[in-house]
């Protein structure tokens, strides 16, 4: 993502929004394996609750369009992400470019001693609903943070158990 302007025609979606969520986990596996597991887009459905992920365009690398559909009862949220940078095994950047979820996101892997990897996911969402969305964010943020962290912990367990990639 460009720090100074929009990425590849993605307009304001490429710019950080006011809703910010970060989660970190240490995975007992080497960074290349952790990174490869994360890029296995369809398998993200194994660790992100109520969500089906698929590659819509491309091969899953830079320029690809990824779709994640989360359904919980009658509520359905469709998240479209454009992959804007893949720097394996260190960093992946996407831009959420759908109608509801918009904003940049990143996943970074940092190799540590003993074949451990620190994974940091960071998302900056544009909040829907204008002023009402900004007022609701402090109430919604803790749940978003817990969900994000829980999914990332499950991802780490699956990698450590050899179930991913």
18-to-44, 94, 104 alpha-carbon distances in Å = 25, 17, 11
Total-model pTM: 0.84
Each residue's pLDDT, cut to its tens digit, for the chain (165 residues) gives 444 344 567 877 888 777 788 999 999 999 999 999 999 999 999 999 889 999 999 999 999 999 999 888 888 889 999 999 999 999 999 999 988 788 999 999 999 999 999 999 999 887 666 665 555 545 454 456 677 899 999 999 999 999 998
Alpha carbon distance 57, 42 (integer Å): 13
The pLDDT assigned to 83 comes to: 97
The pLDDT assigned to 161 comes to: 97
Q: Within 13 Å and on the Cβ side, how many CA atoms surround 68?
A: 25
Please tell me what DSSP assigns to residue 80: E
φ/ψ (deg, to 5) at 112? -125, 170
């Amino acid at each position: 993502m460009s720090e100074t302007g929009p990425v590849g025609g993605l307009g304001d979606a490429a710019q950080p929004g006011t809703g910010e969520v970060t989660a970190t986990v240490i995975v007992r596996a080497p960074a290349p394996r952790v990174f490869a597991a994360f890029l296995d887009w369809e398998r993200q459905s194994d660790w992100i609750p109520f969500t089906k992920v698929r590659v819509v365009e491309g091969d899953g690398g830079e320029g690809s369009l990824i779709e994640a559909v989360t359904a919980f009862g009658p509520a359905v949220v469709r998240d479209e992400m454009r992959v804007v940078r893949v720097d394996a095994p260190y960093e992946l950047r996407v831009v959420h470019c759908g109608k509801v979820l918009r904003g940049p996101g990143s996943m970074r892997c940092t190799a540590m001693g003993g074949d451990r990897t620190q994974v940091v996911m960071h998302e900056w969402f544009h909040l829907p609903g204008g002023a009402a969305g900004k007022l609701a964010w402090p109430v919604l943020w803790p749940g978003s943070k817990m969900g994000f962290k829980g999914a990332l912990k499950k991802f780490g367990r699956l990698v450590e158990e050899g179930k991913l990639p």
